[in-house]
Amino acid sequence: MSRTGSCLCGAVTFEADALPSLQACHCRTCRKWSGGPFMAVPCKSADFKGEIKRFSVSKRADRGFCPTCGTHLFFYSKPGDMYGVPAGLFDEDPESVLRAEYFIDEKPENYCFAEDTKKLTGAEFRAKFG
């Protein structure tokens, strides 16, 4: 489903082909990047307009942000050719509930979600998504 959104300052806008899902990643990289669990809507494609800064944290993935306001724009999985776009960036909140939690073995003890989710460890995530 085509959905639109923007960064905090509005310099970057996007249109994404979003799946009806909401996922959270608890891995250390995502938590360092997001300041907490990374809540993302998986998107088959995402077309960003405006200047973005893109960097690689591993061979498997890129992450992007707005160089003006610093809003995190996407996680891009190279093997999956999929974007994870932060749920808060969309013009309308995604209606889907939290369905999956990744890297559950890296989740700290100080929070947990109430939704009944499919939970994958880091090893299970890598085996499934590469």
| Binding-site ranges for Zn ion (CB under 5 A) | 7, 9, 11, 25, 27, 30, 66, 68-69
Distance CA 30, CA 100 (A): 15
Q: How far is the CB of 55 from Zn ion (least distance, A)?
A: 15
Q: Closest separation between CB of residue 13 and Zn ion, Å?
A: 10
Shorter beta-carbon distance to Zn ion: residue 44 or 53? 53
The residues near 98 (Cβ < 8 Å, ≥ 6 apart) are 22, 23, 24, 39, 113, 115, 117
Q: How far is the CB of 119 from Zn ion (least distance, A)?
A: 13
Q: Whose CA is closest to 73, among 22, 21, 34, 105?
A: 34
Closer CB to Zn ion, 4 or 95, in the complex: 4
> Toward Zn ion, which CB reaches closer, 9 or 112?
9
Residue number, 69 or 123, with CB nearest to Zn ion: 69
CA distance 95 to 37: 19
Shortest separation between residue 30's beta carbon and Zn ion, angstroms:
3
User: Which candidate, 23, 38, 45, 37, places its Cα nearest to that of 98?
Assistant: 23
